[in-house]
Amino acid sequence: MRDLDPATAAATLSGVSLNRIRRGVQGLVMSNDRWRLIHSDDAAFTFKAEPPVPPDLEPFVIHLDEVERITWDRLARQQVRSQVRFHLKNGDVLTFSGHLPDPA
C-alpha cells in the first residue's frame, strides 16, 4: 500500500471507468454503477456515474476535509487492476477500483 497526495490520486483516477466500494458500519457495499472522476480540487473529488443511469442521479462527492489518508495498492494476483482508497476520518473506506496506472 502506498500513500498518495490528492494531486497524485486525481491523476491516477483521471479518465478511468471505476467500480466504487464502500466499507463501513453497514458492511461492504458495492455500487452497481461505473464511475468517472469529473473534477478534483483542494476541497473535493467529484465522481459521476456512467450511462446507463437515471439522468437525475447526483454526482458522488468526497470532501477532503473528511479524508484521513488516500492510498493506492494492487492486489498480488492482479496484473492490471488496482485501487485508490479514501480512508475517511469516520472509519469508512471508499475504494475506487479499475485499470489504473501506477501512480507517478
Give residue-wise pLDDT tens across range 37-78: 999 999 999 999 998 888 788 999 999 999 999 999 987 777
In a domain, residue 41? The reply is yes
Residue 27: its pLDDT value, please? 82
In a domain, residue 73? The reply is yes
Distances (CA, A) of 104 to 4, 19, 21, 101: 10, 22, 24, 8
pTM of the model as a whole: 0.92
Give the side-chain half-sphere CA count within 13 A for 46.
8
In a domain, residue 55? The reply is yes
CATH of the domain at 18: 2.30.29
How many structural domains compose the chain? 1
In this model, does residue 30 exceed pLDDT 90? no
